[in-house]
């Protein structure tokens, strides 16, 4: 492979990686801004992403997975077999399968069970506690990374990312200056 071909491939790869990094940066920025503006959870195309912290839904949803859930406005129409995300208490969300729909004078509630659990959950889930339904989209093990990123130690990831972007920018500027210098040297020789 000639030196010219290697340079062209290098420039193409450089442009491609710059474009991908810039697109990812803009996408993250838009997600964060939209979440802050709406005062709610970050959403991408109407879906929220949740980290699975237990093995109660294995083997379908593994511990440490990132799952996509769709917000639900009216939780009264859910059926047996649906996988829902609900508020167990003020600070805890749980994703389990509906095993029974209970309708009575106080409204609709759902008996739920984790697929990997021996028995059903102790308390029925009132429909007003249901926040989302599981879409079936799962990315294994990414939840571990996100959990770490949200911890105090995970703040270092932002610094590392920023440092890498700074290094990349420095290398790009250095290469551009080197190319300009070599062009002006070639003109002086001619």
Is the separation of the CB atoms in 75 and 69 below 8 Å? no
Residues 168, 103 contacting (CB under 8 angstroms)? no
Whole-angstrom distance, CA of residue 113 vs CA of residue 100: 10
- Of 15, 54, 56, 127, which one is the catalytic site residue? 54
Q: Is residue 75 within 8 Å of 127, Cβ to Cβ?
A: yes
Q: Is 146 exposed, middle or buried (0-12, 13-18, 19+ CB in 10 A)?
A: middle
For 99, the 3-state DSSP assignment is: strand
71 is catalytic: no
Active-site annotation, residues: 54
């Amino acid at each position: 492979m000639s030196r010219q071909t290697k340079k062209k491939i290098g420039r193409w790869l450089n442009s491609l990686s710059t474009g991908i990094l810039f697109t990812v940066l803009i996408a993250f920025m838009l997600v964060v801004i939209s979440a802050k503006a709406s005062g709610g959870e970050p959403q991408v195309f109407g879906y929220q992403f949740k980290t699975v912290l237990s093995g109660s839904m294995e083997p379908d949803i593994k511990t440490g997975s990132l799952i996509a859930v769709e917000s639900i406005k009216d939780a009264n129409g859910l059926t047996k077999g649906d996988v829902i995300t609900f508020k167990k208490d003020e600070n805890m969300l749980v994703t389990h399968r509906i095993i029974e729909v209970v309708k009575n004078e106080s409204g609709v509630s759902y008996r739920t069970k984790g697929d990997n659990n021996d028995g059903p959950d102790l308390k029925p889930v009132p429909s007003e506690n249901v926040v989302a339904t599981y879409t079936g989209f799962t990315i294994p093990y990414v939840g571990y990374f996100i959990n770490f990123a949200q911890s105090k130690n995970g703040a270092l990831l932002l610094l590392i990312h920023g440092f890498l972007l700074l290094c990349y920018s420095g290398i790009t500027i250095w290469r551009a200056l080197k190319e300009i210098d070599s062009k002006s040297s070639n003109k002086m020789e001619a």
